[in-house]
Amino acid sequence: MYNFWTLTKFNLSYYLKPRFENAKDKRKFIVSAIILILVFAMPLAMMVYTIYNAASMAIQMNIVADFISVMLLASQIAVLFMGMASYLQIMYFGNDNEILMTLPVKPSAIYLSKLIVSLFNNLIISTVIILPSIITIAVAFVREGFSFGAEYYVLIPFALIFIPLLPLLIISVLSFPIMKIVSYFKKHPTISALITALLTVGIVLAIYLPSMAMGGEVEGDISGTLVGVMSKLGRYFYPTYCFALAMVGSQIAKNLAIFFAITLVALAIGVLTSLLFYRSTLSKMSEGGGVSSTEKKVKSTEPMSTKKALVMRELKGVMRDQSIALQTFMMLIMAPAMLLISTFMSRNSSPEEGETFCIGMFELGMSFFYSFMMIGGMNYMSLIGISRDREQFSIAKTLPVTSKQILQAKLTLSDLTTLLAVILSGAVFALVSSTPWYNKILYIIGVFACTFPLNCFCLMRDVKAPNLKWTNIKQISKNNMGTLVPMLVCVVGGIAVMILGITMSFLPMQEWLMSLIFWGVVAVIAVAFFFIFCFRKMDKMVEYFDKIEI
């Protein structure tokens, strides 16, 4: 037991606790954290405003429990959506597993320790959704002259702790068939990472999209539409609905008993199943997969140009590392998946199309925000362009090529990855959006024009302060302003464009004129980004690159 708690304490610190080499790093972290909070304050305020209006109508329509249930369900879907990849990285794709398996600690202790770390990760995600929602609903009640009983406020801490448990257990159980496939293709890390990313996003969409389809089309304004959807979604996940009923004082003992019984039974089944397969899964991953790696025949090849050879070297290096390949594929697949979800959200939370509302512009603003944020701020080809080399960086420094050629190769691969992500997102946008054809074409051009300059910005930040001593990819992003600042830039720019699109969708103006203004603003942002983040920055990157000590 002592070893377990020691290991758990170490893992919590290893994965979650920020570390600072000096006081300057600590100050930078605090400032960035404050900026991050301020940036996300705007979308959070929009969420709170919408929930407040919808809560007032839920009171009038007597579907308060359904409404609370959907807020809790939203946090569970968010945990499932954002927690799956993080769970796999913590549990399976970290090099620390090779070290931990050699220590006098049982595999069950390693698993439970990392499960606690994953739970803390998910608590952060769910709290950001649950706490503002629950408080806003309570304020709306007071405003309407009603009040909740004491049980509502007493159960809030229990909601924060136990609501994310069920999606975590779903992730835990679903991870085994995923890892079974991954271990089978162990000798082919590219295929393994691609299948993992596809299954992860596919599972989330399989759970999310049916819930959105249940809402259907409901007439009325934004709040009325949302509440109408809530009445259908409230009982989508029965144990969550029981907890919501207990919060509003309906058969408290019975509904809490149902919720905790289902949760505890699921916890027992999930943990026992995981303990049975965790050790064997890790062993198979370390031994190699079932697909034999055939020896490649020696072929005469034509000589490549230096640039092409360096780009291919970078690509092969990425595809040989499962954790980095997984993050890359997740970005490529998650961007169009988020765009698909945003379109469903736009259709279910917006007024009906009419003379004073343009659904196409509404979808355009929302979709541009998600693509901008996901593609511009999560491209690991540029975010960790130097850090991903780890011990191989010393080899790069000894190659008979210039520093500039190495950096240009890394930047080229980043731009190609961005282009691929934009094309995939653009294809989804063209299929599901109600906007005219010219906006669908300009969407690809506009998103790429705004995101590719950020590759240079991200790479420069990583060259300036690379992390070449990591065992799990999560260590690179933890407490790393180099990965946080580009995300902040994308969120700020994306929110500006989103607000523009949403605002214009309510203006009595022809759609072609709205589109002209919209893309004019996007063009200004793209040009500004190019000159701020990309123009004549290579010389500075070469200077930073040459200063890196091996």
Mean pLDDT of 212-225: 48
Q: Are 195 and 182 in contact (CB under 8 A)?
A: yes
The per-residue pLDDT for 184 is 66
Is the pLDDT at 498 greater than 90? The verdict is no
The per-residue pLDDT for 522 is 93
The per-residue pLDDT for 300 is 44
Mean pLDDT of 515-526: 92
Mean pLDDT of 18-25: 66
Chain segment 40-94, per-residue pLDDT in tens: 676 677 778 777 877 777 777 777 888 888 888 888 877 877 777 778 777 777 6
Per DSSP, 219 falls in state -
SS3 content of the chain, % helix, strand, coil (to 5): 80, 0, 20
Residue 519's pLDDT band, with cuts at 50, 70 and 90, is very high
Backbone angles phi, psi at 49, to 5 degrees: -60, -45
Which residue's entry shows tokens 């990849």? 85
The per-residue pLDDT for 221 is 46
Chain segment 453-477, per-residue pLDDT in tens: 999 988 888 888 787 777 666 666 6
* Cα–Cα distance list, 388 to 380, 381, 391, 473, 536 (Å): 9, 9, 9, 9, 24
Is the pLDDT at 214 greater than 60? The verdict is no
- What are the beta bridge partners of residue 357? 354
The per-residue pLDDT for 446 is 93
The per-residue pLDDT for 423 is 93
Q: Which helix (H) or strand (E) holds 525?
A: helix 511-529
Residue 509's pLDDT band, with cuts at 50, 70 and 90, is confident
Is the pLDDT at 355 greater than 50? The verdict is no
* Residue of higher predicted confidence among 405 and 302: 405
| Residue 289, phi-psi category: left (phi > 0), alpha (psi -120 to 50), beta (remainder) | beta
Q: Which amino acid is at 226?
A: L
What is the C-alpha separation between 360 and 346, in angstroms, rounded? Answer: 10
Chain segment 400-447, per-residue pLDDT in tens: 788 888 899 899 999 999 999 999 999 989 888 888 889 999 999 999
pTM above 0.75, yes or no: no
- What are the beta bridge partners of residue 354? 357
Q: Which helix (H) or strand (E) holds 460?
A: helix 437-464
* CA distance between the termini of the chain: 41
Backbone angles phi, psi at 254, to 5 degrees: -65, -50
- Of 99-113, 196-210, 474-488, highest mean pLDDT: 99-113
Q: Are 128 and 71 in contact (CB under 8 A)?
A: no
> What are the strands, taking DSSP E only, across 184-343?
none
Mean pLDDT of 374-398: 80
Is the pLDDT at 139 greater than 80? The verdict is yes
The per-residue pLDDT for 20 is 63
